Structure 1
């Protein structure tokens, strides 16, 4: 993996105060105390470091719940204005644990899963199977069997092969299963190519011209109930233009398919963007909801058909801003970029193993000192990880106080989505724990790994009868802090 270095155009403007927290990026309750220490959920970042070590994923439970409530209200209100109902799905791929499933379902959201593992987590959390949607372009027979067995609310069919697999399962079980058909509207979201999922040259869904035949086949199968179309145009999307164009194309297909029977649901996906840096300006969820619902209603009115129930998948917009990752600075090194520009490389004790997005997508993040403030002049820095990889970049370009030094605690905001989900053991680095904050209390909701955990998976080690390795090792996280 590698990431291209920033050009000067990519460098954010130098801030008036390199200690300030941009309100559009950080969790609502984040602030600095009188000593300049960052507080998250009412707890000092330094206290979290002392208790749980670093790197550390921190997740504000109240923030997640608030975003879930806001999204549900926005879409229900927008759909209700046109006499329709709305369902909002939490995207399990953004970040999934049994605790988070309980939070979002408590707040009225359904849950979207795309693998047998995600399904297992949702069920273990006590989620109502009828309020689960099952996505994925290559669901195995075993995964489909399990989904039908537990009574998953809907399965999104992604291919003809999957359709026939599911047909065989419902026939064998004498079961009934609601399904949607994923279609590609051909609308390319204004986002990174790997995040744009509705253009035709990609692995998901059916082309619009192939959808009618697939729906006809679904309707031939006694055990399958066709309930609607599904379309997802991408992720980290600002604005409603792409959704409006996509809605026009999908509603046209929806109207044509009504000749064969009722179609109660239209799922228009989501992938709504969040702010990762101060200059980002995501569209408010209420504006997105009303814009999309209005577009669907307008297209339905033109065709003289009723507005179906609408479903949405906000994605990172529910959990992204609620997350902050804490790191400890290990080394600081000035690097001369050219005759007029020097960049300070700040190395931290994590990296691409806990946040792969900068290496995968060139994703941009921001950072702030968390253990103190400083009056030092801002310096252009690149925050990098400890991995043996030149593309191991956490924050590509940021301004921090120029006296940033080893031992400082660094906080990277907006890491609630996809960082835990994409984490790895690259270079045999254990994955960090996830700590949830609420009411001034912190608790581990996903345990961190240790070196012992990594070695336990190595089948080449000699194992003693006590079940321990022949050469016990001291876990990094068992060392006193």
Structure 2
């Protein structure tokens, strides 16, 4: 970094592995100081399986799945009810990971015929599968009914007739939930309660009674409750509190309509996780959020004089996100000068000044280009998401530098890590490890610029095995007819 007025010595360690974002097994080796995941050196993994590479820590995924399930079920029992915890497979799904979730006692939430196929191939009990989607095809509905999917979540009035017809043709009674929009939108620390919805999912809560009345006219459907998903990356429970209160407010009316209590309430998922060290202190503790959610539902049931319904939740990112790390190889680097005064500097860059040993805004940024990018992690381009990165193949005593890790694609928005601090001597050939890539990275991957998707490798106790095969350029070419 260029020396500027007001520089100071920084005690920040740009080599440190933050256990709050990396998997618990991630650490520097005592001799070579390389990053290890699941007791395997990062460079051993890239030498064997190639770069870029998705690495999934099996123990981390299993432990978090178990912790989330146990916390939600324990707190549900405390307030006198039960809870089913569905793993939201859209976050990351392959046969092997689905098996982990099943073995840890989670049900599975799918949103397409393809996800259903994978869940069944993993040995899931169809009765422990929930089927989502705003545009399920007739073929997908018929398949779900045929195999015995436990619950289909109705997203529109059209689906009522389609599911009812499929169940009648199969001589079955299909359990269904109705997805509604509570008018509560939650994201990170904030939520907004409105009276209107303008989105593709669900039905207005004000229409729930009328639509449930339609469901109840079909003998082939068993209406078991409402479903609501209020957002993603939620750090506080205020939004859940308001949403649950609104949903339970119509349960008495629905019970009168059905002539029986409504047995279930699905509050969805969206529990937040830390992607960067700066987020780590604010990220919610699963035990705390589970206790608060149970209390919220119990209080709502008391307010409306209802029997506490059985609860269902659909965590995905909070289960699998931290278990994943993506390894890249550096190709080129270049330094860009940052103009303007301190007042004009990006506040997020300025926030990193103490780590850089500066008292003012950074004057330059080191661009680090890697062999992947938006094809293997679309979230920064789609949502402006940020990630945390470390050099994996070595440690360095070089002065820290403000870096931006970018990909190889023909897009200026092809960014992997918006900003972080690395040793300033990061160089071509270095292996970089980007944390918290277990959710929505492989799942959203593409072949933009005809770049093959990387493989996914599971690590555990010093052993690595491929669980999703990567692609080759030849395989991509072979798709052309």
Aligned position for 1:355: 377
Structure 1 position 267 matched with structure 2 position 263: no
Which of 400, 406, 415 is matched with 2:422 structurally?
400
Aligned position for 1:203: 200
Q: CA deviation at 1:304?
A: 1.6
Q: CA deviation at 1:229?
A: 0.6
Q: CA deviation at 1:198?
A: 11
Tell which deviates more after alignment, 151-160 or 32-41.
Answer: 32-41
Superposed CA deviations along residues 17-48 of structure 1, whole A, max 9, x for unmatched, are 00111121010111001222000000000100
Instruction: Provide the secondary structure at the position in 1 that maps to 2:471.
Output: coil
Which of 71, 78, 85 is matched with 1:81 structurally?
78
Aligned position for 1:426: 448
Identify unmatched segments of 5+ residues in structure 1. 1-13, 460-481
Aligned position for 1:449: 471
Superposed CA deviations along residues 37-68 of structure 1, whole A, max 9, x for unmatched, are 00000000010011011000000011111011
Q: How does 1:120-135 map to 2 (within 5 A)?
A: 120-135=117-132
Contact 2:188 2:236 in 1 (8 A): no
Superposed CA deviations along residues 146-176 of structure 1, whole A, max 9, x for unmatched, are 0000000000000011111112212222221
Q: Distance in 1 between matches of 2:450 and 2:196?
A: 37
Q: CA deviation at 1:199?
A: 6.5
Contact 2:404 2:419 in 1 (8 A): yes
Aligned position for 2:4: none
Tell which deviates more after alignment, 429-438 or 19-28.
Answer: 19-28
Structure 1 position 18 matched with structure 2 position 40: no
Identify unmatched segments of 5+ residues in structure 2. 1-9, 341-361
Superposed CA deviations along residues 277-332 of structure 1, whole A, max 9, x for unmatched, are 00112110111111111011001012221111100011201000000000000000
Q: CA deviation at 1:255?
A: 2.4
Structure 1 position 103 matched with structure 2 position 106: no
Aligned position for 1:279: 278
Q: Distance in 1 between matches of 2:150 and 2:119?
A: 13
Instruction: Provide the secondary structure at the position in 1 that maps to 2:81.
Output: coil
Instruction: Provide the secondary structure at the position in 1 that maps to 2:278.
Output: coil
Structure 1 runs of 4+ with >3 Å offset: 196-199
Contact 1:323 1:414 in 2 (8 A): yes
Which of 462, 466, 478 is matched with 1:440 structurally?
462
Q: CA deviation at 1:15?
A: 7.2
Q: Distance in 1 between matches of 2:189 and 2:370?
A: 27
Which of 122, 143, 146 is matched with 1:146 structurally?
143
Contact 1:359 1:393 in 2 (8 A): yes
Which of 391, 394, 401 is matched with 1:372 structurally?
394
Aligned position for 1:471: none
Contact 1:383 1:395 in 2 (8 A): yes
What is the aligned-residue RMSD (CA, Å)? 1.7
Q: Distance in 1 between matches of 2:209 and 2:430?
A: 59
Q: Distance in 1 between matches of 2:15 and 2:184?
A: 40
Instruction: Provide the secondary structure at the position in 2 that maps to 1:421.
Output: coil
Q: CA deviation at 1:86?
A: 0.5
Contact 1:101 1:122 in 2 (8 A): yes
Q: CA deviation at 1:438?
A: 1.2
Q: Distance in 1 between matches of 2:120 and 2:196?
A: 33
Instruction: Provide the secondary structure at the position in 2 that maps to 1:417.
Output: coil
Aligned position for 1:336: 337
Q: Distance in 2 between matches of 1:458 and 1:158?
A: 36
Q: Distance in 2 between matches of 1:224 and 1:89?
A: 21
Contact 2:188 2:272 in 1 (8 A): no
Contact 2:183 2:194 in 1 (8 A): no
Instruction: Provide the secondary structure at the position in 1 that maps to 2:397.
Output: coil
Aligned position for 1:466: none
Structure 1 position 137 matched with structure 2 position 130: no
Contact 2:71 2:290 in 1 (8 A): yes
Which of 214, 236, 240 is matched with 1:243 structurally?
240
Q: Distance in 2 between matches of 1:278 and 1:15?
A: 16
Q: TM-score, normalised by structure 2?
A: 0.90
Which of 221, 224, 227 is matched with 1:227 structurally?
224
Aligned position for 2:24: 28
Contact 2:403 2:422 in 1 (8 A): yes
